[in-house]
Amino acid sequence: EIDDKTKELTLLNKQSVLGRGACHLSLTSDNKFLMVANYSSGNVVVLPIDKDGSLKPVSSNKQHAGTGPNQDRQKGPHAHYIQSSKDNKYVFAVDLGIDKVMNYKLNQKTGVLTENSNQPFLKLEGGAGPRHMIIHQNDKFAYVLNEMASSITACTYDAKKGAFSIIETHSMLPEGFDEFSSAAAIRLHPGGRYVYGSNRGHNSIAVFEIGYDGNITRKQIIQDGIEWPRDYNIHKEGNFMIVANRNQEEIRTFTIDINGELTMTNNVLKITHPTSIQFLD
């Protein structure tokens, strides 16, 4: 709990997430449920939120199963991201270890997850290693960031059924690049015309333009001023981006032009190992 006057934090309670390596959490849009993705154990859970903000015990626990072709990283499931649909009817969990986006229905009274019979999962290319997903604000398209392949998969999205269909996948790396790189974060421009993905290793951010049918066309791969971009975010007005250069121990500002492309600025703030960027309205 946050004290209105002092802004100090007070612990309300703790609950187990019934797994190991919790790496991502999110709230349903009505703030009734907290959802957690456990990377190491490969399961996702739902916890109801009480009226006072405290957490109730887990109401649903879904254990993923399977493997991927990369035995170094895909010997088992690795849930990496979880979010609900706008209407909170569905929950989507991105699993790097099994190359799938798992698809559930959410009982909005009990907080229980069940298989979405319309589409139990979306299968990505073997070895892609999906990490994060973002649904377009028009509720017609979705974009999956593939960590291991450093690529973005564009999909159509049926909001009524909570189902996806792959349109195409594009690399975030330049042609001929064969050294190590690992995708980190995906963001959608507030105007809805561009989608961005960051590369650790190649140390760059790729810019894609979104077509009318949801397809994407790569416009830019920028490396200037970027060093291990663990995260970044775009201001709500869409004019600039702040990048967390984790290994450079800094955050840096980039301008965004009318074509969605980035230009480095000299606006830099030194900070120890930045890993997440969020704007306050």
| 258 C-beta neighbours (distance < 10 Å), count | 9
User: Is 0.85 topped by the overall pTM?
Assistant: yes
Joined tokens for residue 133: 């997903």
Strand ranges, E, within 49-147: 60-63, 79-84, 90-95, 100-106, 113-115, 121-123, 130-135, 141-146
224-240 pLDDT per residue, tens:
999 999 999 999 999 99
Q: State mean pLDDT over 160-179.
A: 97
Which pLDDT band holds residue 87 (cuts at 50, 70, 90)?
A: very high
pLDDT band at 178 (very low <50, low <70, confident <90, very high): very high
Describe the chain by its helix, strand, coil percentages, rounded to 5. 0, 50, 50
pLDDT tens column, 188-220 = 999 999 999 999 999 999 999 999 999 999 999
